[in-house]
Amino acid sequence: MTKRIKLRTLLMGGFFTLLFVGLIFRLYWVQVVKADFWSAQAMKTWITSETIKQERGMLLDRDGKVLAADALAYTVAVGPKRLNELEQKHPEWKLTDQIVAKLREVLGTGESDLRKAATSKKDNGELRDQREIRPDGWKVDKAVKDALSEFRDSLRKQTGTNDVGLYFVEDTKRYYPNGALASQILGYESKEGEAVIGLEKELNDQLKGEPGFIKYQKDGTRTQLPNGELDFKQAINGNDVTLTIDRDIQFYIEEALRKAYEKYKPISITAIAADPNTMEILGMSSMPDFNPNNYWDYSNNQAAFRNNAIQSLYEPGSTFKIVTLAGAVQEGLFDPNEMYMSGRIKYTEKDKPIRDYNYTGWGEISMLDGLKHSSNVAFVTLGYERLGKERLVNYINNFGFGQKTGIELPNEVSRPYSLDYPSEVATAAIGQGKVLVTPIQQVTAVAAVANGGKLLEPHIVKSITNNETGEKIVTEPKVIRQVISEETSRKVGDYLEQVVSDREIGSGKLAYIPGYRIAGKTGTAQKVSTGGQTDPNGSGYAKDRFVVSFIGYAPVEAPKIVLYVIMDEPQAESAFGGTLIGPIFKEIMGQSLEHLGVKPNMPKLEASSISAAHTAASAEITAKVPDVVGMTVSQAQSALKQKNFPVGVLGKGTKVLQQLPKAGSVMPDSQRIYLLTATQQGGVPDLTGLSLRDAIEMCSLLQVPFTVDGEGYVTSQKAAKIGSQWTLQLTLSPQGQQANDQDDGSDQDDSSDQPASE
């Protein structure tokens, strides 16, 4: 028995001895061998880290007005656990139902999604303390938060409890205070914090900054230990970027483009305004556009995110004739008084001729009048015959076409070209064919014509300011090359001014603004056919699809702004650059010049005549059409000419039976007033002798449906009554009698062997 007790004692003693030795070894292993590891693990428990969020740099206009900045935002959340507690105690309150109904009303989130959030559980089956309402309740603005906060206050009064299971988490988001203004330039930052398109993406490294952090030791209640270690890094805010954009000019552009987009329903309409002396972009827009504050609403309209000013290529049409003109003047090949025969030109024996837009031309006219009319024959003569391929290509290249401009916006495009055949050289001279251009290339080239011949690199970033150091990096004008001489620049400006100032035959007369010297050029380019109706001579161009444009600068003597407006496939019966784009150009240019402090240069008059001069100047812009019905033709013409309205007489009667537009209408003084002295069947006047464009305008004014057979000028007409509606059938012929009234100079050529170009 004693031995058994001793044995058991020995075994127990050995066991405890081994246990004690193992414990000592374990303590040694933890405290000495693995000391660093376990110390680090302990620190993880004692130390907490919090991120200090930086502010993204602002985007500002040239005068410091905010275009994009970080703003306070709120994320809406519900508390499933708290709602369940309250529902259990007070089911009659129906809190979940009330909150779901209100969130659905304010945020637009579906009821099923809201109920799912209000009953959300963790993986272990427990109800969550908090669940955010995403995406609709994520980073909402203060107005939404205030509406829901007021609702929450009403629930608190109803229940007598402060926590009703509806919460707001403070956050920040990117905010664009001007809505859609300059949206394609700015781009946007998504709710996830990703910079998407535009300058937000291109300048992200400058704008984003760096987050900071704070690390400190804590106790079990997460309170910082007074003598604990502290590690801190200050957040670095992003740099502020000042753009060359003038917010007011940007607004003028977008207001005018939006009206035209709604009226003509084109694929797109784009405009660029720039200072030709520095190539700073003052405004740039393309419709359709989008609002970056709610970019997700435009996910089904990707065209809204496309900046056509730098991302779309076009056959420019006759605005490109400025390049041909500048080259010809520089080489001494353009004599404004030289006479030539307009109508058509056969530049090689085997190639089809190129015709003027009105098919028969204007007879023998001067080269300057050819410019005013935008005669294709004149510019094929200058570009193909006189400059020749080598020199024409040299000027096209020197003006910057076929290469990117280098503007700071992302995704700029450009397309190389080659003119391998005589037809390609001839059509390039009039702005059609293989030379495709972007609007920004077009503006950069014409700015060189305006500023004395210097091709400048365009810029949209004026300066970048480091918010930490105050250092500012300023973008200076960059001259690429001298393209033409200052003397050539001056001469070309004088010639282009007459395209606008000649109120009779100038193709750009609708862009005329009294008191300002404006140089400009219209453009109407047929588009390559993609399966629709083609040119009757098989040129491969669509008969009814056009790109219309207008480019110009002012004032000619000291240019402050160059402006380009281009519309792709307007839905209009009369698709001409001068007719459609001229008034848009005029509206933007007039407002911009006034904003820039450029005053109109009116003749100095005696003090007693100032009021009358002001009235006359206003009448040159718009005037009220007088009532001349019942007058003799001569009396009516006299009354209308006192208001500066051009007059067209239809019929051989002696008295005015009807006038269009009607009396009392307020019209631009460039609007032709038609006097109807005789009518045919259906009450329609005799349109014989009118060009197709004038006939279309008359039918539009009369609101008479019509059909057209042939091309050129009206040779006969027939009115047919379908039900109670008269329809006019017009027969046209190229050999028909030319109308007495001059055309407005638009170069659409539905019947040319080569593509039409205004």
Q: How many CB atoms lie within 10 A of CB 683?
A: 13
Dig out the tokens for 319 from the structure: 């605005």
| pLDDT tens digits for range 657-686 | 887 777 776 666 666 787 877 766 556 677
Mean pLDDT for 123-152 is: 90
- Averaged pLDDT score across all residues of the chain: 84
- Residue 9 phi/psi, 5° resolution? -65, -45
Examine the pLDDT at 561 and tell me if it is beyond 80. yes
| Alpha-carbon span 738 to 758, nearest angstrom | 19
- Per-residue model confidence (pLDDT) at position 215: 74
**In the block, which residue shows the tokens 């930052």?**
189
Of 183, 318, 549, 670, catalytic? 318
Q: How many CA atoms lie within 13 A of 400 on its CB side?
A: 29
Which part of the chain has CATH 3.40.710.10?
A: 247-595
Q: Residue 683: what pLDDT?
A: 60
Q: Name which residue leads in pLDDT, 670 or 481.
A: 481
Q: In this predicted structure, what is the pLDDT of residue 666?
A: 64
Measured in residues, the chain has a length of 758
Q: Is the dihedral of CA 501, 372, 281, 196 positive or negative?
A: positive
Distance CA 437, CA 409 (A): 17
Chain segment 354-368, per-residue pLDDT in tens: 999 888 889 999 999
Where does CATH 3.90.1310.10 sit in the chain? 52-243
Burial class of residue 711 (count of CB atoms within 10 Å of its CB; 0-12, 13-18, 19+) = middle
Q: What are phi and psi of 243, to 5 degrees?
A: -95, 165
Residue-level pLDDT at 14: 78
Question: What is the pLDDT at residue 302?
Answer: 93
How far apart are alpha carbons 328 and 58 in whole angstroms?
47
638 catalytic residue (yes or no): no
CB-based contact 523:431 (threshold 8 Å)? yes
Supply the pLDDT for residue 620: 43
CA distance 617 to 638: 19
What pLDDT shows up at residue 123?
86
Return all residues near 669 (Cβ < 8 A) that are at least 6 apart: 619, 620, 621, 622, 623, 643, 644, 645
Tell me: pLDDT of 580 over 80: yes
Mean pLDDT in residue range 206-218 = 81
The tokens for 30 are: 């933890």
Average pLDDT over residues 329-354: 93
The answer to whether residue 276 scores a pLDDT higher than 80 is yes
- Per-residue confidence (pLDDT) for residue 278, from 0 to 100: 97
With a CB cutoff of 8 Å and minimum separation 6, the contacts of 456 are: 278, 279, 444, 447, 448, 477, 478, 479, 480
Instruction: Check residue 737 and give its pLDDT.
Output: 40
CA 653, CA 722: separation in Å to the nearest integer? 28
Say if residues 284 and 245 touch (Cβ distance below 8 Å): yes
Residue given tokens 């989008």 in the structure block: 290
Is 229:217 a contact under the CB 8 Å cutoff? yes
Question: Tens digits of per-residue pLDDT, 218-258?
Answer: 655 556 556 656 677 888 999 999 999 999 999 999 999 99
CATH superfamily of 247-595: DD-peptidase/beta-lactamase superfamily (3.40.710.10)
Q: Name which residue leads in pLDDT, 658 or 586.
A: 586
Q: Please, which pLDDT band fits residue 34 given cuts at 50, 70 and 90?
A: low
Higher pLDDT pick, 117 / 525? 117
Q: Is the dihedral of CA 104, 109, 112, 118 positive or negative?
A: negative
From residue 594, how far is each of 402, 558, 561, 652 by CA, in Å?
Answer: 35, 15, 11, 46
* Biggest distance spanned by C-alpha atoms of the chain: 155
Contacts of 73 (CB under 8 A, 6+ apart): 139, 140, 141, 170, 171, 172, 173, 175
pLDDT in tens, 602-661: 665 433 343 443 444 433 456 778 888 888 888 888 888 777 778 877 777 788 888 777
Q: What is the mean pLDDT of residues 169-178?
A: 90
State the Rg of the chain over Cα: 37
User: According to the model, what pLDDT value does residue 534 have?
Assistant: 42
Share of the chain above pLDDT 70, in %: 81
pLDDT of residue 348 exceeding 90, the answer is no
Give the distance from CA 142 to its chain's centroid: 29
The SS3 call for residue 510 is helix
Whether 740 has a pLDDT exceeding 80, the answer reads no
Buried-state track 114-130, b at ≥16 Cβ within 10 A, e below 16? bbebbebeeeeeebbee
Task: Tell me how crowded residue 4 is: count the other CB atoms within 10 A of its CB.
Answer: 8
Report which of residues 53 and 488 the model is more confident about: 488
Residues 6+ apart with CB under 8 A from 24: none
Q: Which CATH class is domain 52-243?
A: alpha beta
Report the DSSP beta bridge partners of residue 66.
60
Question: What's the average model confidence in pLDDT over 690-694?
Answer: 64
Nearest residue to 750 via CA among 573, 526, 569, 572: 526
CA dihedral (256, 261, 264, 265) in degrees, to 10, reads 180
